[in-house]
Amino acid sequence: MLDNLTQRMARVVKTLRGEARLTEANTQEMLREVRLALLEADVALPVVRDFISKVKEKALGEEVIGSLSPGQALVGVVQRELTAVIGGDYEGKAAELNLSVTPPAIILMAGLQGAGKTTTVGKLAKLLREKYKKKVLTVSCDVYRPAAIAQLKTVTEQVGADFFPSQPDQKPVDIARAAVDWAKRHYHDVLLVDTAGRLGIDEAMMNEIAALHKELNPAETLFVVDAMLGQDAVNTAKAFNDTLPLTGVVLTKLDGDSRGGAALSVRHVTGKPIKFVGVAEKLDGLEIFYPDRMANRILGMGDILALVEEAQRGVDVQAAQKLADKVKKGGDFDLNDFRAQLSQMKKMGGLSSLMDKLPAQFQQAASNADMGQAEKQMRRMEGIINSMTAAERAKPELIKATRKRRIAAGAGVQVQEVNRLLNQYEQMRTMMKKLKGGNLQKMMRGMKGMMPGMR
């Protein structure tokens, strides 16, 4: 969805150059393109009509200021309205979780089967522990799918939170009551409650989750919805919203190969804010939702703040400082350090993840490079370094022809790949020497072509 709408907007901006003001005539074509892009993205028709009407009303007659072209001015109007559609009252900020209650703050998760509720509970537990420094307990009230209880136990242990065990022969309300009692006695700050999903909306399911809500009186009731469902996601959200007093929405699989119209429709239909988005399968792939940032990404303006936050999460500050101190003191940059740099890049989600958050013009510049191929090459480079001995990593000058053949065989690559890696290492080593001398400009010029896939 993002790519489609971004490309359409970029095309129409070019056609509006040279106009002095926005008029019905020169905005009509652009609004038509925006309308088609939204419909193709599976945004609900009433949402599209309302959105286009508001953009048209606010755009007509608006003066084109200074160096802005009419296209750029219209993009500004679209950006503001897009932020309002997906953010509502939370246009410029994130909708925070309500954790200012007597502990434990209970968060009830609702949604259809396959939406990703159980994994989202694990992701949210990780976020609450690491960002908010909360002591978290999770419990599964899904007694219909025994694997769900085991799955929640696994993801909870992986993120370092506490798990309250339950059995398929128990009643969901009894499980919830016991979990709350346990959380109180063991001083947990937050209790995350996973509930049963169904393949579709049915009365028994709604009655059960309504009973759970009545028993728990949760601080938050979050509706977890698969962004890939498109229009069906909106209908499901409405059904849940009619039964439960939802406080927010979690959009999962936003990174999937989907049209993603649910992102624009769900808040409009339910009136409830999107609080989190799932952007990767990994347990750190849950992001706080910022409406203005999402609008910027849709319009190709990038999300630099998210990029910075991702970098801060991925970078090992102590390791980076240790390397900086080593270089400043005249220590040599070896292959252990080079491998550590590759590892940091992987922790930040890889090249593709970083590119998604860059403004459109930078994405366009990088599109000539095959990001998938570049990431494969990075993994191959790491494999080659892992095939070396500790002595070879510490002193790469030891690596001559015989050793190169052994390393290549161990990594399952050709000797040329080993040579290429050593050349890239030498480039980075040279740059580190320039950094030691404080010559940052020379170092930046030398970066061209250093990373795989970038030329």
14 annotated ligand-binding residue: no
Alpha-carbon torsion 184, 188, 189, 193, what sign?
negative
Using the structure block, give the residue that is written with the tokens 């939802």: 246
Number of Cβ within a 10 Å radius of residue 188: 23
211 annotated ligand-binding residue: no
Q: Is the peptide bond before 452 cis (omega within 30 degrees of 0)?
A: no
CA-CA distance, 118 to 274, in Å (whole number)?
Answer: 18
71 annotated ligand-binding residue: no
- Is residue 155 within 8 A of residue 161, CB to CB? The reply is no
Joined tokens for residue 391: 């002595």
197 annotated ligand-binding residue: yes
Joined tokens for residue 183: 């959380």
117 annotated ligand-binding residue: yes
- Is residue 26 within 8 A of residue 14, CB to CB? The reply is no
Residue 214: Cβ-neighbour burial (10 angstroms; 0-12, 13-18, 19+): exposed
87 annotated ligand-binding residue: no
Instruction: List the one residue out of 260, 267, 264 whose CA is nearest residue 2.
Output: 260
3-state DSSP call for residue 100? coil
115 annotated ligand-binding residue: yes
Number of Cβ within a 10 Å radius of residue 302: 20
255 annotated ligand-binding residue: yes
Residue 271: Cβ-neighbour burial (10 angstroms; 0-12, 13-18, 19+): exposed
377 annotated ligand-binding residue: no
Q: What is the CA radius of gyration of the chain?
A: 26
254 annotated ligand-binding residue: yes
372 annotated ligand-binding residue: no
195 annotated ligand-binding residue: yes
CA-CA distance, 430 to 425, in Å (whole number)?
Answer: 9
198 annotated ligand-binding residue: yes
Using the structure block, give the residue that is written with the tokens 């169904």: 198
Joined tokens for residue 179: 């979990």
Joined tokens for residue 37: 């892009």
349 annotated ligand-binding residue: no
271 annotated ligand-binding residue: no
194 annotated ligand-binding residue: yes
In 3-state terms the chain splits into helix, strand, coil percentages (rounded to 5) of: 60, 10, 30
252 annotated ligand-binding residue: yes
Binding site, annotated residues for GTP? 111-118, 194-198, 252-255
Binding site, annotated residues? 111-118, 194-198, 252-255
